[in-house]
Each structure stands twice: as structure tokens, then as C-alpha cells.
Amino acid sequence: MGKAAIIGAGSWGTALAVVLHNNGHEVTVWSAITEEIDMLREKHEHVDKLPGVKLPEDMSFTTDIKEACAGKDMLVLAVPSPFTRSTSALMSQHVAKDLLVVSVAKGIEENTLMTLSQIIKEEIPQAKVAVLCGPSHAEEVGRGIPTTCVAGADDKKTAQYVQNMFMNENFRIYTSSDVLGMELGAALKNVVALAAGIADGLGYGDNTKAALITRGIAEIGRLGVRMGGKLETFGGLTGIGDLIVTCASMHSRNRRAGILIGQGKTMNEAMAEVKMVVEGVYSAKAAKALGEKYGVDLPIIEQVNKVLFENKPAGDAVRDLMLRDRRDENGSFGWDEG
């Protein structure tokens, strides 16, 4: 069995700590927030973000990043995506050569358009880096509800190591070499989930949701393939699978924020009410910029940006999507003209 540290004590980090401990690993949880660590030590439960999930008495908690990193076989970087770079920089001097860092957050850095694993490699060049993502709400993973994710890495041995560390009868892990495709699907689906929530907030129905999910994965796939990802990835767990769960579940902070925006709240009001980092808000501008950089049409993502940052009425955004120019659903094939 191994020694692992969870860097970031939010709902997802806490849920993964439970998974690793249940698998027999020695687990340390780190947070920069003293009050959060005090709560975990005292109550052995994250009462704010993962209520009802009890943490074992022999799990360790610390605010000391050096202590968290020392002597570990694997570090799981679970802070929200806007803090990936700053936390990686904080960790860097304490990370031994070839120590494995697993990125489990989802996002694209707005000013650099880098994925989270690219940021980690830049800030902690001596580390091995992997990613873990898929349709996996912390509220369910923490309770042992059957869930399936994907471990991605540049080499097969590293991906299989992550697979072996996390996998159990309730948490099935596949492996993939398409790290870029995995991260793009995981990040961009949050923007589409905002759109799905906005549609819910406007009172639209299942037909609208199905259209947004289907056309949303088409956008993500077009961009991802142009950037070098594999088309099959976007039809898998970290593409359509993650998009479905994020658009359909009330566990999704992106969908919940979207609902509030659809009901007339501003972006900031919605984020304040959700009380958690809404990753899609931080990825929306980056997604739009990537579309422009690679010359890919992203109509849903463009309209989400206009609603979030240009105060466009949500109803007008949906109307403009519906009234776009007529076109084939799939331009790669057509009719036999003979």
C-alpha cells in the first residue's frame, strides 16, 4: 500500500481521500485554510462541502505543505483550477524528483490557455504528472456509489499506477494516453453545463437539454481534435460522460449557477449563492479564446460568454442559437448525388 497526500480539502479532495483510505493507503489531507483543517481534525467530516461522509480517525490533516509532500508516493492536486498554479508553485520545492502529482481539478488557465497538467509541469518540472477525471460528483464518490473515471498520463506505467491506487469495487478506473483530450473535455463541459443550467432556469425542458448536450459535445470535439486530442476521447467518459452528468445533476455547481443566471441573477450573485468555485465561469473566456486561436466555431460557448460577461439576456442567447444559419448536422458526409 502507498502513502498519498490530498492537496486541497474541498468536496472532491475529501471524497478522493476516502477512496484512497478505503483502499488501504495512508492518507494526509492538506489545506491552506486553518479553520478547514481544524474542522476536519475535530469532526472528521467536511460539514460544509461533504456533509454526512465520515473520515477515519487515522487520517492525517495539515496546513504544512512540506509535511504534506514529504515521504509520499503520490500527491493528488485537488484545489480549484484558479489556484492550480499558485499551489503548484508552493509545492514545488518540497516535491522530490519523479514524485507523482495527479491533477484532479478541471479547467483551462485564462491568460495562458494552458491545461492544468501543463501548468503543473511548468511549476514542478521534476514531477511525474497524471490526470484523473470523468463523471464523478464528490457527493456520490464519498458515499461509495459506483462511479467510473479515467487515469491519463504520458506513459502507460504511470497511468496504470494511478489506476491501481484508486480502483476498487465502487470506483472503476480506465486508462488513457490522450491527456490533452481528457483535460479539454473535462474543462469545457463545465461551460456547456452553465448553458444547460441557464436553459433550466428559463423553464425550458428535456428537449432543450438534449440539444445542448449533443451540440455541446460536438463543439468540444471539434476544438479538441483541432488541438490534437483524439475524437474517441470526446465520445467517452471524460467527454460525453462527464458532460451528461454535469448538465443533468443538481450536484453540479455549474448547472446550479446556470439555473440562477437563467432566473435573472448576475454571474456574481449566482456564484455567491452556490458558495463553491464555479469552474465553468473561469473556463468560459479561455474556451472562447481557444476557439478563436484554432479557428473553430463554438456557438454555445460564445453565447455563454455573452451572458456571463456582456450582460446579454439569457433568453436572447437561446433565441440566437436557435436562429443560426441552416446547416447539416454533420458536414463530414452528405447525400449521394448520383
Query: DSSP secondary structure string, 311-322?
Result: ---HHHHHHHHH
Residue with the three cell numbers 494516453: 177
Q: Is residue 307 within 8 Å of residue 317, measured between CB atoms? A: yes
Ordered mean pLDDT values, 10 residues apiece, the chain (338 residues): 95 97 98 96 94 95 98 97 96 98 95 97 98 96 97 98 98 98 95 93 93 94 97 96 92 91 90 84 93 96 94 90 83 70
CA pair distance 47, 36, nearest whole angstrom = 10
Whole-structure pTM value = 0.93
pLDDT at 338: 56
Strand partners, 4: 27, 74
Q: Residues 6 or more apart from 77 whose CB is under 8 A from it?
A: 7, 8, 84, 87, 88, 91, 101, 102, 103, 104, 105, 116, 120
Q: Looking at the annotation, which residues are catalytic?
A: 189
Residue ranges of domains in the chain, CATH in brackets:
3-177 (3.40.50.720), 180-322 (1.10.1040.10)
- Scored b (16 or more CB within 10 A) or e, 80-94 reads bbbbbbebbebbbeb
For residue 304, give Cα distances in angstroms to 112, 190, 205, 258. Answer: 20, 11, 18, 10
- Strand pairing report for 45-46 and 50-54: antiparallel
CA pair distance 99, 136, nearest whole angstrom = 25
